[in-house]
Amino acid sequence: MMDKNKTFNLSKTGLTRRTALKGLAAGAGLAVAPGFVRYSQAQSSAPIKIGFQSHRTGIGAAYGRWYEKTTAAAVKAINAAGGINGRQVEVIIEDDGTDPGRGAEVVGKFATQHKTDIVFGTLFSHVVIGSAPAAGENKMPYFVVSEGHHVASTKLNRYVFQPGITDVKSQIQSMAPWIAANAGKKVTQIFPDFAFGYDHRDYLPPALKAQGAEVIAQIAIPPTESSFTKYFPQIPAETEVIYHVMVGPAVLTFVKELGEFYGSNRPQLFGFIDSLEAVDINSPGLEFLDGSHFWEGSPRYAQPDDSEAQKAYRAAVGIDDNGAAVGDPKDVSTAAHMFGCWETLYVVKKAMEDAGYKGPEDRAKLVEATEALTAFAEGPEHPQGPKTFNGKIHQCFGIQNISKVEGGKLKVVHKTKIEDGLYEAEGDYTKQAL
């Protein structure tokens, strides 16, 4: 375990647009791609190039923006400490529009045009699934920061990894005992109608059944839906808990309409924070959420027992105690997910150093070095908490947070253990050819 009394000094913020432009001016004559972020580099060696597949537009835009901020902050810290194998890191950004087809094109572009060392950063599961074949075909290590069970299911390919954030199957398994014991036994699910939502649909019922509870209804809603009232009459009257996990730009509308539908007489609510990521919990119309509970990967609000590493990480990515951008309380972060960008980049750094990585010709060695990793200690590189890694399924396992809405803030009331979310491997990527 880390020493909570030790102070870690990380950079306070990522690069600003002005700083990036200064860097570009300093490198006059260099042709760069849209979204290219240039960092200072050692004169004696070529930089390591990371292709960042960003959801700049589409339903994942709020996540994409904060994933970029977190990535810039992590790369700045890594470069300040000497880079990777003595080489500085550059990030090239391409927008995938949160679209599977475009995602595959972006991965191909990184491989053939930008010739990046790896591709990194994808969140939305349907984009990961749509992009993974291109990573395999181009033998391009593809480090995603998603949550779906798609990587750990071993249905993708050996070049796809999810080492910095846990998957839905593990998350649900960890939290089901608490839900059944504290929220209620009869559960109605509301989830987005695509791969991420299907993981919730498929893995919650058996997890709750093992705890003596049951899912009595499942309601799938298109992620591009803009109004939700028409779905709520499908919720059975005997429902004790509404388990909701919505995504996209209309999440504020979803929770507001849910509150208007029930008024003061509602079932217990247990939500994945996805339903409120990048949304101010004190927005008008959300008062009804008081007393409800949410899953959080990394807590949005600073907690009394935050480690020094967690405090340093929050300062580096530029969020205040309420999880909003420093200096702009209306710019609420995607704190529950974006830590995965920070932690994944440090996994990449460790694997590249273990592999003695020199360039694209060593990508197979990088894959094998990543598969050989087994655990990540809590600390500056992994501020969310300790994790184990299963190289056979390319997936990490960590702790989960259950937070309660109290006084307009989210207070962590329960932390799971790593072992709560462990499950048997469904396959073995290491048996696939490189």
pLDDT digits (tens, 9 = 90+) for 8-18: 444 433 433 33
Q: How far apart are CA 47 and CA 296, in angstroms?
A: 35
Which whole number is the average pLDDT over 372-400? 98
pLDDT score recorded for residue 295: 98
Q: Regarding predicted confidence, which is higher, 45 or 373? A: 373
Is residue 316 within 8 Å of residue 73, measured between CB atoms? yes
User: Alpha-carbon distance 144 to 159, whole Å?
Assistant: 11
The answer, yes or no, to whether residue 134 has pLDDT greater than 50, is yes
pLDDT at 22: 34
Identify the band that residue 333 occupies on the pLDDT scale cut at 50, 70 and 90.
Answer: very high
Res 279: pLDDT: 95
Q: What is the pLDDT of residue 248?
A: 87
Q: Categorize the per-residue pLDDT at 45 as very low, low, confident or very high, splitting at 50, 70 and 90.
A: confident
At 324, the pLDDT band (50, 70, 90 cuts) reads: very high
CATH assignment of 48-167+338-398, among 3.20.20.20, 3.50.50.60, 3.40.50.2300, 3.90.79.10 = 3.40.50.2300
Longest dimension (CA), the chain: 69
Q: What is the mean pLDDT of residues 271-298?
A: 95
152 pLDDT band, cuts 50/70/90, is very high
Position 33 pLDDT exceeds 50: no
Decide if 189 contacts 219 (C-beta within 8 A): yes
pLDDT for residue 37 is more than 50 = no
Asked whether the predicted pLDDT for residue 25 surpasses 50, the reply is no
Question: Average pLDDT of 114-124?
Answer: 97
Read off the pLDDT of each residue in 229-251 and give the average, rounded to a whole number. 96
Check if the beta carbon of residue 144 is closer than 8 Å to that of residue 167. Answer: no
Q: State both tokens at 383.
A: 């501020």
Task: Please state the rounded mean pLDDT for residues 367-382.
Answer: 98
Q: Provide the pLDDT for residue 18.
A: 35
The mean of the pLDDT values for the chain is: 91
Cα dihedral 316, 317, 318, 323, rounded to 10, equals: -120
pLDDT in the model for residue 192: 96
**What local confidence, expressed as pLDDT, does residue 171 receive?**
98
Euclidean distance between CA atoms 398 and 413, whole angstroms = 17
Contact yes or no for 51/114 (Cβ under 8 A): yes
Whole-number pLDDT of residue 8: 41
pLDDT of residue 202 exceeding 60: yes
> Yes or no: is domain 168-302+399-421 CATH 3.40.50.2300?
yes
> According to the model, what pLDDT value does residue 14 have?
40
Residue 382, phi then psi, degrees to nearest 5: -135, 70
Is the predicted pLDDT of residue 27 greater than 80, yes or no?
no
- Between 307 and 265, the higher pLDDT residue: 307
Burial of 376 (0-12, 13-18, 19+ CB in 10 A): buried
| Positive or negative: CA dihedral 91, 94, 99, 105 | negative
- Boundaries of CATH 3.40.50.2300 in the chain? 48-167+338-398, 168-302+399-421
Positive or negative torsion for Cα 177, 179, 181, 185: negative
Across residues 270-279, what is the average pLDDT?
96
**pLDDT at residue 376 tops 50:** yes
